[in-house]
Structure 1
């Protein structure tokens, strides 16, 4: 804490380099492509990405951006400029919704739309008040054709509990929005010690940890008894600044795999009772998750997400 201000920290960038053809195919590992036909790749579903903004003209992302808002002081606080200066939000957005355009990587739900809510500034910092305002904005947002936000991805976290934050999260959850957050990268690899990051630790949020390509818990991934699932989080190739594609590592990368998955699941279940969507999505993930035997639930939760 700095001057009693709670800092929201995006996940650590452990590795960053340009690569276009060396990444493992995580879409197949979570079986996303197997339900693409029946879900139309997530078309019509709006995902709010609360992060460091986005490269708005990235060829793999620009046509899927439906709107945005800047909650930081970047660009003199102009609310309609939500450019990304870190690359973090652009990377997360690509994992969810990079176009299937034969140019680089493909998102889990490549036809879904992104509402870009910038809560992390160019220094990698934000505040709980910005996060709270962004969640409220996502709840109230209505698109040009009456669309509403169905999924919120928060690849960020702070170490302090905050009652106002929890209150707005409970409100969004009760309205039927599926909330997903990164577990955090303060882990030490020891299943007995617990590391807590908010908002991920709140029960209304699907808290996502990271596993390696060998499906073992990532050492950096926070472990605690509220961990829900794990997703791919090491050396993840996705969109980045300057039209690049880079590999990054962190629970920040694992969370959007679940956000993209939630988007496809919503198309699959096609519920008329939208307020129950968080329950339906959670139960689907629970039913299909791959149990990781002999590993602590504090490290892997209910297992590795699978879509079929």
Structure 2
């Protein structure tokens, strides 16, 4: 079995209209309502392990705090994390595109992005590249790692690096996979990772979803609008594309984790850092079951206002404690 790490097949659709909006996926998970708490992800550092990123993209240039190349692109130059593929820029945009009254907005528009290029221009990578990048992310003290990539086989060194990250309090978010069957994809299938499934904007399971018992929650992953490299689009004034895949649902969760972390670490809340377990518990609280199998949705759809909805329900639906007396 090949141990190559790769992007699952995806198609990127050009955008032929002027873009100035909050993408539907960002709205669907209730990010704008969460912003009303005053939390936009400020102070949270997210490592994006992908195909790189366009550091000159107008919606991302203020979010990127650094980057590093672990691939064979550009003759292996460590300083060149240019995205020749488009996938990484799209993922980064969903996580943290700046709220600048133009283009698109990400889930956590004030979070910081560390771009770690582990997939080359063909969308292919080696497990050792990813292992090295995870170890680098740990040294850089990131709070969240997003990996919208997968392999059909396990890799011990990569797994050990993920364990180290989690031990350091870093939550690792991964795309569940786009195989349309139940075969496990890694690293999402590792128990230490938060595996994200995909639904469309009606809440229906994506037809391409890799279903298994490791899926933790689900998020929008069909026809997701986000950023795209300026050099890879027909009109540089509209650097956006629409893509489908669990690669697109995973960054919704990574961005949401940044919002939750920023909010709950504040002086008005816990007033201390959250552990990885605590952060996972908080994001699970922000889900709504859709009624599908657990192998497809895990705890349910990411819905950032779910705790408030439950609190409102409690106010008007107190339990009848006499019915079993």
TM-score by length of 1: 0.91
Structure 2 residue matching 1:197: 3-state secondary structure: coil
Structure 2 residue matching 1:264: 3-state secondary structure: helix
Equivalence for 2:207: 219
Structure 2 residue matching 1:286: 3-state secondary structure: helix
- Cα distance, 1:24 vs structure 2: 5.7
Q: Work out the CA distance in 1 between the residues paired with 2:114 and 2:173.
A: 15
- What whole-Å deviation, never above 9, does each CA across 1:226-273 have from its counterpart, x for those lacking one? 100110000000000115111000000000000000000101210566
- Structure 1 residue runs without a partner (length 5+): 142-147, 189-193
- Cα distance, 1:41 vs structure 2: 0.7
Q: Work out the CA distance in 2 between the residues paired with 1:207 and 1:63.
A: 28
Equivalence for 1:58: 57
Q: Is the 8 A contact 2:226 2:240 kept in 1?
A: yes
Structure 2 residue matching 1:209: 3-state secondary structure: strand
Q: Does 1:286 align with 2:296?
A: no
Equivalence for 1:187: 180
Equivalence for 1:168: 161
Which of residues 134, 147, 160 is equivalent to 1:154? 147
Q: Is the 8 A contact 2:68 2:117 kept in 1?
A: yes
- Cα distance, 1:22 vs structure 2: 8.9
Which of residues 3, 17, 30 is equivalent to 2:14? 17
Q: Is the 8 A contact 1:23 1:236 kept in 2?
A: no
Equivalence for 1:69: 68
Say if 1:272 and 1:136 are closer, same or farther in 2 by CA, change over 3 A: farther
Equivalence for 1:305: 302
Aligned length: 292
Give RMSD over aligned pairs: 1.6
- Cα distance, 1:80 vs structure 2: 0.4
- Cα distance, 1:37 vs structure 2: 3.8
- Cα distance, 1:109 vs structure 2: 0.3
Q: Work out the CA distance in 1 between the residues paired with 2:196 and 2:22.
A: 21
Q: Work out the CA distance in 2 between the residues paired with 1:90 and 1:203.
A: 27
Equivalence for 2:88: 89
- What whole-Å deviation, never above 9, does each CA across 1:148-192 have from its counterpart, x for those lacking one? 31000000010111122111111100100011000011114xxxx
Structure 2 residue matching 1:41: 3-state secondary structure: coil
Q: Is the 8 A contact 1:52 1:85 kept in 2?
A: yes
Q: Which has the larger radius of gyration?
A: 2
Which of residues 180, 183, 201 is equivalent to 2:189? 201
- Cα distance, 1:8 vs structure 2: 1.0
Most deviating of 10-19 and 225-234: 10-19
Q: Is the 8 A contact 2:40 2:259 kept in 1?
A: yes
Equivalence for 2:321: none
Q: Is the 8 A contact 1:12 1:249 kept in 2?
A: no
Structure 1 residue ranges (4+ consecutive) displaced by more than 6 angstroms after TM superposition: none
- Structure 2 residue runs without a partner (length 5+): 231-235, 306-325
- What whole-Å deviation, never above 9, does each CA across 1:279-307 have from its counterpart, x for those lacking one? 122112222211011x1111111110011
Which of residues 186, 209, 229 is equivalent to 1:241? 229
Q: Work out the CA distance in 2 between the residues paired with 1:215 and 1:80.
A: 40
Structure 1 residue matching 2:215: 3-state secondary structure: coil
Which of residues 256, 259, 281 is equivalent to 2:254? 259
Q: Does 1:47 align with 2:46?
A: yes
Q: Is the 8 A contact 1:266 1:277 kept in 2?
A: no
Q: Work out the CA distance in 1 between the residues paired with 2:130 and 2:79.
A: 17
